[in-house]
Amino acid sequence: MKYNVFLMMLCLAVSCNIFAAEKSTLRIGVQTTGTVDWELSAIQSEPTADFQLDIHPLANPEAGKIALQSGAVDMIVSDWVWVSRLRATGTDFTFYPYSSTSGALLVPENSVIKTIKDLKGKRLGIAGGELDKNWLLLQALAKQGQLDLNVSVEKTFGAPPLLNEQIKQNRVDALLTYWHFAARLEPQGYKQLIDGKGILKGLGVADNVPTLGYVFKQSWASDNKQAVNSFLKASQRAKNQLCISDTAWQKVIPLIKADDAATQAKLRQGYCEGGVEHWGQREQQAASRIYSILRTLSNSQLTGQSETIQPGTFWSIE
């Protein structure tokens, strides 16, 4: 009798180990200074049966791209323009939306700059480089008002933290930066003239198009479809919880690295405004219009030579 009980217990243990072994590990590269870290923390607080996370800290977005291309991680957060460009060269990366919040154009509260036209002759700080998407799209909007920003402003390109200091020290008159760096400035006496969504609306794109998303190999995702799709759904649930539950939000505040309540509130607001509730044919057609604008403005340097977004660029949860 005891022997039979022992065999039953052994079989149960073996079965448990088999099930545990089947739980997929998703290696995700993430910047610890970004909002993705908040979401992953919320996901980890409620483990699922389908996957477990192996988080790899990254120094910057370029490090993430290198890690993904080398196979050091399975997934990063990046943009669909980059994904389409790589697919045109034969890679099989694909994209699923994470956030539609992008950049913002800021000035001091008492600035004489009231509109984009007022940037003429001013010093403009620009996060990123000449091919930064926010910069290209702002130029497109300014051209509608017969203003060529590329020649009519004094440009300073740089990293967002450095540029935040530049505008505080009055070394630039206005700043085009990423949304979470803008959110840290607003409570300190700075205001938005326009954000990324406003720029797109001015260009005739009213749909909520994601700017960033989870990027991974399509072949890998197909082999791990249940775990990948379960993770993407868990990501959406985590975002929803952080936006509706103060208790959930309090748990990630230590990751935000902001002590004052006003900055914390601005960061939460921007993060939640980036939610992507609809991702279908209409939004993807809007992405195609944005792609065309970026291709023209960058002379194909940003997008590559492909005239359209590559098939397979966007992953769908079935």
3-class SS letters over 186-197: HHHCEEEEEEHH
Please tell me the predicted confidence (pLDDT) of residue 263. 94
Q: Residue 89 has what DSSP assignment?
A: T
Q: Where do the structural domains in the chain lie, given as residue ranges?
A: 2-100+209-297, 103-202
44: pLDDT confidence band, cut at 50, 70 and 90? confident
Element (H, E) at 178: strand 174-178
Please tell me the predicted confidence (pLDDT) of residue 32. 78
Q: Residue 120 has what DSSP assignment?
A: T
Please tell me the predicted confidence (pLDDT) of residue 258. 87
Spatial CB neighbours of 156, under 8 Å, sequence gap ≥ 6: 123, 124, 125, 126, 163, 166, 171, 172
Please tell me the predicted confidence (pLDDT) of residue 72. 97
In angstroms, the CA 113 to CA 248 distance is 39
In angstroms, the CA 154 to CA 228 distance is 45
Query: Which DSSP string corresponds to 270-293?
Result: HHHHT-----SHHHHHHHHHHHHH
Please tell me the predicted confidence (pLDDT) of residue 45. 81
If one compares 6 and 73, the residue with the highest pLDDT of the two is: 73
17: pLDDT confidence band, cut at 50, 70 and 90? very low
Please tell me the predicted confidence (pLDDT) of residue 222. 95
In angstroms, the CA 119 to CA 172 distance is 11
3-state class (DSSP) for residue 14 = helix
Average pLDDT on 54-58 reads 94
Centre a 10 Å sphere on the Cβ of residue 227 and count the other Cβ atoms it contains: 21
Token code pair at residue 151: 């020649």
% of residues, the chain, pLDDT over 90: 83
Q: May I ask the CATH class of domain 103-202?
A: alpha beta
318: pLDDT confidence band, cut at 50, 70 and 90? low
Judged against a pLDDT cut of 60, whether residue 1 lies above it is answered with no
If one compares 31 and 215, the residue with the highest pLDDT of the two is: 215
Please tell me the predicted confidence (pLDDT) of residue 3. 44
Please tell me the predicted confidence (pLDDT) of residue 119. 97
Average pLDDT on 82-93 reads 96
Condensed to tens digits (0 to 9), the pLDDT of residues 276-292 reads 988 899 999 999 999 99
Centre a 10 Å sphere on the Cβ of residue 208 and count the other Cβ atoms it contains: 19
- Closest of 75, 53, 33, 59 to residue 238, by C-alpha: 53
If one compares 257 and 6, the residue with the highest pLDDT of the two is: 257
Q: Helices (H) and strands (E) in the chain — how many of each?
A: 14, 10
- CA distances (Å), origin 268, targets 37, 246, 313: 13, 11, 29
2-100+209-297: CATH number = 3.40.190.10
Mean pLDDT of the chain: 91
Judged against a pLDDT cut of 70, whether residue 50 lies above it is answered with yes
Q: Do domains 2-100+209-297 and 103-202 have the same CATH topology?
A: yes
Please tell me the predicted confidence (pLDDT) of residue 11. 44
317: pLDDT confidence band, cut at 50, 70 and 90? confident
Name which of 35-49, 111-125, 213-227 the model is least confident about. Answer: 35-49
| Single-letter amino acid, residue 134 | N
Judged against a pLDDT cut of 60, whether residue 89 lies above it is answered with yes
Judged against a pLDDT cut of 60, whether residue 226 lies above it is answered with yes
3-state class (DSSP) for residue 3 = helix
